[in-house]
Amino acid sequence: MDDPPRILAKPRCVDHAAAVLGEGPVWAARDRALYWVDIKGLRIHRFDPATGAAASWPTPFRIGSIAPRGSGGFVGGSERGFVLIDAAFARFDIVADPEADLPGNRFNDGKLDGAGRFWAGTMDDAEQQATGALYRLDPGLGWTCLDRDYRVPNGPAFSPDGRIAYHSDSAARTIYRFDLAADGSLSGKRPLASFAAADGFPDGMAVDAQGCLWVAFWDGWCVRRLSPEGACTGILPLPVQRPTSCAFGGPALDQLFITSATIGLDRSARDAQPHAGDLFVAAPGSKGVLAPPFAG
Known catalytic membership, residue 203: yes
Residue 247 makes CB contacts below 8 A (sequence gap 6+) with 25, 26, 27, 34, 206, 256, 257, 288
295 located within any domain: no
Report the pLDDT value the prediction gives residue 7, as an integer from 0 to 100.
Answer: 73
Mean pLDDT (whole number) for 186-214: 98
Q: What is the DSSP letter of 46?
A: E
Mean pLDDT (whole number) for 256-281: 97
| Cβ–Cβ under 8 Å, residues 223 and 245 | no
Mean pLDDT (whole number) for 177-194: 98
Domain residues for the domain of 256 are 6-282
Amino acid at 142: G
Q: What is the DSSP letter of 72?
A: S
Mean pLDDT (whole number) for 66-71: 97
291 located within any domain: no
Amino acid at 249: G
Name the catalytic one among 169, 203, 208, 278: 203
Model confidence at 205: pLDDT above 90? yes
Task: Tell if the pTM clears 0.85, that is, is over it.
Answer: yes
pLDDT-derived band of residue 2, with 50, 70 and 90 as boundaries?
A: low
pLDDT-derived band of residue 5, with 50, 70 and 90 as boundaries?
A: confident
Whether the upstream peptide bond of residue 49 has omega within 30° of 0, thus cis, is: no
247 located within any domain: yes
What average pLDDT does the chain have? 96
293 located within any domain: no
Residue 200 makes CB contacts below 8 A (sequence gap 6+) with 217, 218, 219, 220, 221, 222
18 located within any domain: yes
Q: Residue-wise over 119-157: b if at least 16 C-beta within 10 A, else e? A: bbbbbbeeeeebbbbbbbbbeeeebbebbeebbbbbbbb
pLDDT digits (tens, 9 = 90+) for 91-106: 999 999 999 999 999 9
pLDDT digits (tens, 9 = 90+) for 6-41: 777 789 999 999 999 999 999 999 999 999 999 999
Rounded alpha-carbon distances, angstroms, from residue 73 to 31, 37, 165: 11, 15, 25
215 located within any domain: yes
296 located within any domain: no
| CA 199 remoteness from chain centre | 19
State the CATH number of the domain containing residue 63: 2.120.10.30
Report the pLDDT value the prediction gives residue 8, as an integer from 0 to 100.
Answer: 74
Cα Rg, the chain, nearest whole Å: 17
Report the pLDDT value the prediction gives residue 1, as an integer from 0 to 100.
Answer: 43
Q: Into how many domains does the chain fold?
A: 1
Return d(Cα 262, Cα 256) in angstroms, integer: 20
Report the pLDDT value the prediction gives residue 3, as an integer from 0 to 100.
Answer: 63
Residue 210 makes CB contacts below 8 A (sequence gap 6+) with 160, 286
Report the pLDDT value the prediction gives residue 275, as an integer from 0 to 100.
Answer: 98
pLDDT digits (tens, 9 = 90+) for 161-175: 999 999 999 999 999
289 located within any domain: no
